[in-house]
Amino acid sequence: MTDKEEWIDIGSTEEVASIPLKSCKAGTTALAISFKDGQFGAVSNICNHVGGPLGDGRLDGDYIICPWHGWKFHRRTGVGEPGFEQDRVPAFPVKVESGRVLINVAAPSRRVKAPHRPHPLSRKPERAPGSLRLVGISTTVMDTANPRFSGSDYLLDHSLKAASELGADTRLIRLNDLKFRACEGYYSKAAQACTWPCSITQMDASDELDRVYDAFVHWADAVIVASPIRWGTASSLYFKMVERMNCVQNQITIANRILIRNKVAGFIIVGGQDNIQMVAGQMLGFFAELGFIFPQFPFIAHSRGWSHEDMENNVAMVRNSKELAEGAGMLAKRLLDLATRLIAQDEAPASIERGGRKAHRV
Ligand code: FES
């Protein structure tokens, strides 16, 4: 705190006291103004984490809870909540004169950002040397205690086996085995609130989608996503994963940073009834926006057709089809061939000015 003075009137006492917490400007200074137990408080409106507007949050006793990810700061001193006192946002002197609330914007306390251990996912994406690496993502949902035959999983197994025979390291991730939260819409608060790594991943160590993030951003050269068709679209688990991938795409939006470089994607789509083109279109569009690249003919698919309700026969058809199994292997080969060329050329830029759907400047 300095002894400089520049007192700015922010309103009458009744007016300012009528709202327990609000964002406000005093000259050019953005403030979180609070009133509780007869005392006014004024701290910087900018959260230490990634800049959330503290005055738009809520009070928990004398602590302001940031509306973006819940960090807490004392409403009058700016000091972080117990256990995090090293973190401080600037606090400003407040006085009441002649029924008016005045803030000395020239004498804030110092902002202190305590070092926070970076999340392991936040490391720079760099391809580690070694064999080609292919991850298969199974998105089908089933009762694991009573497993059933899944056509999409069956073909994904064939892809992984073929990749392995071609000398690649493989990994299979079944979304059905992971415990992960649905996207809670941090982007809907503000683009900057949707962080990389994902806000949920950073806040909740028990959330297991970090395995998919790690595979997509860091480990894999090639990705195959396998989905059944459910009511004409991809599986619900696929969409649960996709919504959580917004943080990867959002880095392009808010930081012009492409996390996915020199990586290829392909898809396996299996359904009893049709709509393959729509499912494939969604998958291609979404993975393109993440930065993945596709080989020629980037998906294989099968469906029995609209007029057939005999799913037992569909199961038998997939299980007995040599062509589909071979097709799954050939898909893996196309992906690995393209990945090899991309890695050798290493031409993908780390940023593209106004890439993808952000062609319009944001
Ligand atoms: S908790 Fe404030 S910006 Fe994240």
- Give the number of the atom of ligand 1 that is nearest the alpha carbon of residue 51: 3
- Give the number of the atom of ligand 1 that is nearest the alpha carbon of residue 67: 2
Q: Which residue's CA lies nearest to atom 4 of ligand 1?
A: 69
Q: Given this model, what pLDDT does residue 274 score?
A: 85
Q: Which protein residues are within 6 Å of ligand 1, measured from CB?
A: 47, 49-52, 66, 68-71
Question: Residues 90, 147: one domain?
Answer: no
Query: 208 alpha carbon to ligand 1 midpoint, in Å?
Result: 22
CA distance 60 to 58: 7
Bridge partners, 303 (sequence order): 271
Q: Given this model, what pLDDT does residue 314 score?
A: 86
26 closest CA partner among 48, 43, 13, 3 = 43
User: Over the stretch 43-87, which tens digit does the pLDDT of each residue have?
Assistant: 999 999 999 999 999 999 999 999 999 999 999 999 999 999 999
Contacts of 63 (CB under 8 A, 6+ apart): 72, 73, 74, 75, 81
**Positive or negative: CA dihedral 184, 187, 188, 190:** positive
Whichever domain contains 309, its CATH number is 3.40.50.360
Sequential pLDDT tens for the chain (362 residues): 567 999 999 999 999 999 999 999 999 999 999 999 999 999 999 999 999 999 999 999 999 999 999 999 999 999 999 999 999 999 999 999 999 999 999 999 999 999 989 999 999 999 999 999 999 999 999 999 999 999 999 999 999 999 999 999 999 999 999 999 999 999 999 999 999 999 999 999 999 999 999 999 999 999 999 999 999 999 999 999 999 999 999 998 888 899 999 999 999 999 988 899 999 999 999 999 999 999 999 999 999 888 888 888 888 999 999 999 999 999 999 999 999 999 999 877 777 766 665 666 66
Domain of residue 16 covers 7-104
Q: Given this model, what pLDDT does residue 310 score?
A: 85
Mean pLDDT value across the chain: 94
Question: Residues 184, 307: one domain?
Answer: yes
In a domain, 173, yes or no: yes
- Give the number of the atom of ligand 1 that is nearest the alpha carbon of residue 69: 1
Q: Which residue's CA lies nearest to atom 3 of ligand 1?
A: 52
- Total domain count, the chain: 2
Q: How far is CA 111 from CA 44, 90, 92, 101, 277, in A?
A: 9, 5, 11, 23, 54
Host H or E run for residue 327: helix 322-345
Whichever domain contains 98, its CATH number is 2.102.10.10
Q: Which of 104, 132, 156 is the last residue of a domain?
A: 104
Question: Residues 129, 83: one domain?
Answer: no
Question: What DSSP string describes 247-300?
Answer: HHHHHHHHH---S--S-EEEEEEEESS--HHHHHHHHHHHHHHHT-B--SS-EE
Mutate to test the pocket of ligand 1, among 45, 49, 186, 194 (most ligand atoms within 8 A of CB): 49
CA 340 remoteness from chain centre:
28
Q: How far is CA 237 from CA 171, 302, 355, in A?
A: 18, 20, 28
Lookup: tokens for 25: 């400007």
- Give the number of the atom of ligand 1 that is nearest the alpha carbon of residue 195: 4
Does the reported pTM lie above 0.75? Answer: yes
In a domain, 47, yes or no: yes
